[in-house]
Structure 1
Amino acid sequence: MNVIEIEGLKKQLGNFTLDIPNLVIKEGYITGFIGQNGAGKTTTLRLIMGLLIPDKGEIKVFGQSSSQKGEAIRNQIGYVGEPTGYFSEATVEQTRKMIAPFYTSWDNDLFNKYINLFALDRSKKIKELSQGQGKQFALIMALAHRPKLILLDEPTANLDPVVRHQILDLLMEHMQHEEVSTFYSTHITSDLDKASDYIIMLQKGKVVMYEDKEQIDDKYYIVKGSKGLLEKGIQNELIGIDQNKFGFQALTTKKQMLENKFGKDLIFEKATLEDMMVYIERGNRS
């Protein structure tokens, strides 16, 4: 079953155009949404939540139109992004009291469990929380009403590695005990190397990759070799070639074929999501 379905979507914002002909997000998984800043990730999330209206096309969440049933859909979504929208002068506890009544499924026991896990001070004002504590609190608020869909927009940006891992660990632990789907937008691809089931890459408003994470791990490699090999027709099997005086390196999905043809003349390394994003971007510019 699909939790999100996008068809014929177009949205113009100034000189930027988001253009997604067809996209589905599967229920019960963490789907990573990657791309450079300005690629259209936040715009897509706002359209999914019904905060923006498409110029063309339709987005369905839980089988309902996000533009027509936005309020009902948002009640089933946990969202973490910037800004959080919480009143900066209110304390952690006051914020809970203000927000909880809006959700019929709010779970105080779950809220308390996660507050204690992160050792957050309930008497602190929102403005007094550190950046990391603020993101931890936003995630707790997003999870405490037991949403069916979690939308994360750069939830670990500018955080230190310890806090980033704490947030990811909580997210994955929560998903193990809840029937929930997560759509995780970020340019910090290392987070998704650890957590994702599927990867979608957005580039200049268009989807350029949508693949199973396990298949990605077996498919994409960084290949390195001497410049002389580029004169032997290898270029057609490479993505985003980077040359220097010592040779070249590039992304490839043809490891076995290249290995059979050139043997030890080439060196292969498994590509990370960051490698893929960099080399696909470079390849599409050339």
Structure 2
Amino acid sequence: MSNLLEIKNVRKSFDDKVVLKNITFNVPPGSIVGFIGNNGAGKSTTFKTVLGLISKDAGTVKIFGEENINKHVKIKEKVGVVFDAMNLPVHLTVKQLNKVFEKMFDSWDQDNFYRLVNSFSLPMNKKIDKFSRGMSMKLSIAVALSHNAKLLILDEATGGLDPSSREEVLDELKSFVSKSNGGILLSSHIMSDVERIATHLVIIKDGEILLSEETDKVLESYAIVDVDGGKLTLINKDIIVAKRNHGSYFSVLVSDVHKLPNGITPRAISIEEISVLLTRSEK
């Protein structure tokens, strides 16, 4: 099967500010793509461009091989969306909401919705405007997982959740991908969540993609070394992904630990450390 989501050379500006600079990456079937970047890096603009909520200046976005999903109602139904701010009618209860979505989605799965509502300990007869932020996020996720979507677009979907709730939600997301061979594009500032479930990593800074790679390859082949200026010159420039000057030494991210010269020892790395080094590295 081809990629569920393909973003190619997408560019977006607001007035004179370029927000997305020819970004390119994919969400393959069976993948969870962790989309990482600082505030203002371009993540939300990317999501809105993918969903057709704002227009792009250049490039292509294909969902299930089709451009402009707003023209394809059936395709839109196969995309589940959760934003940081809830977009559900707050004057309704969960039971009333179920009735609304039964009419809205041909593929609405009431049994799965109520399973998730019960699993997430959400009240059936309480109006949504009385929900806490965490409860609202869990309800949004339950909706996204209950209309047989094949692609989930999740923007900070685990924000506001306590650790136990986050673990429960992450397990549901992994189960969704495993059972449906679907895909997820997930942005999060919580690196432990990304480390736990992401099969692919995309790191964005100032509208540019700095890294797009499978998580296993990053953790197996990439490394960070701390070296002085002399040893820095010994490292093959082709494997240097990023470097950061600390004054007396440099932290250097390399793409192939096996190509490091003798005498330069890598240290254990995490996705969070890679993300920080990339987003704070020199141009």
Aligned residue for 1:6? Answer: 7
Aligned residue for 1:193? Answer: 195
**Which digits, 9 at most, give the CA deviation of each residue in 1:114-169, with x for residues without a partner?**
11111211111112222221111110000111101111001112332222111101
Measure, in 1, the Cα distance between the counterparts of 2:140 and 2:241: 42
CA contact (8 A) 2:81 2:154 kept: yes
Matched, 1:204 2:206: yes
Q: CA deviation at 1:254?
A: 4.5
1:150 counterpart SS class: strand
Measure, in 2, the Cα distance between the counterparts of 1:68 and 1:81: 18
**Which digits, 9 at most, give the CA deviation of each residue in 1:18-54, with x for residues without a partner?**
1235433212211111111111111111111111121
Percent of aligned pairs with the same residue?
Answer: 29
2:262 maps to amino acid:
K
- What pairs with 1:145-224 in structure 2 (closer than 5 Å)? 145-224=147-226
TM-score (norm 1): 0.88
Q: 1:21 to 1:282 in 2, by over 3 A?
A: closer
Measure, in 2, the Cα distance between the counterparts of 1:85 and 1:53: 20
State the number of aligned residues: 277
1:193 counterpart SS class: helix
**Which digits, 9 at most, give the CA deviation of each residue in 1:60-116, with x for residues without a partner?**
111111265264432211111132211222212222222231100001111111111
1:45 maps to amino acid:
F
Q: 1:16 to 1:283 in 2, by over 3 A?
A: same
Measure, in 1, the Cα distance between the counterparts of 2:273 and 2:252: 9
Aligned residue for 1:44? Answer: 46
Superposed CA RMSD in Å reads 2.2
- What pairs with 1:1-286 in structure 2 (closer than 5 Å)? 1-14=2-15, 15-20=17-22, 22-66=24-68, 69=71, 71-224=73-226, 229-232=228-231, 233-234=233-234, 237=240, 239-243=242-246, 248-258=250-260, 260-262=261-263, 266=265, 268-285=266-283
> Which blocks of at least 5 consecutive residues in structure 1 are unaligned?
none
1:6 maps to amino acid:
I
CA contact (8 A) 1:3 1:181 kept: yes
CA contact (8 A) 2:94 2:127 kept: yes
Q: CA deviation at 1:210?
A: 0.8
Q: 1:21 to 1:86 in 2, by over 3 A?
A: closer
Q: 1:113 to 1:180 in 2, by over 3 A?
A: same
CA contact (8 A) 2:34 2:186 kept: yes
2:201 counterpart SS class: strand
What stretches of structure 1 move > 4 A for 4+ residues in a row? 234-238
2:263 counterpart SS class: helix
* Structure that is richer in helix per residue: 1
CA contact (8 A) 1:49 1:70 kept: no
2:229 maps to amino acid:
L
CA contact (8 A) 2:243 2:250 kept: no
> Which blocks of at least 5 consecutive residues in structure 2 are unaligned?
none
CA contact (8 A) 2:27 2:184 kept: no
Measure, in 1, the Cα distance between the counterparts of 2:282 and 2:106: 47
Q: CA deviation at 1:55?
A: 1.7
Measure, in 2, the Cα distance between the counterparts of 1:67 and 1:95: 25
Measure, in 1, the Cα distance between the counterparts of 2:60 and 2:134: 35
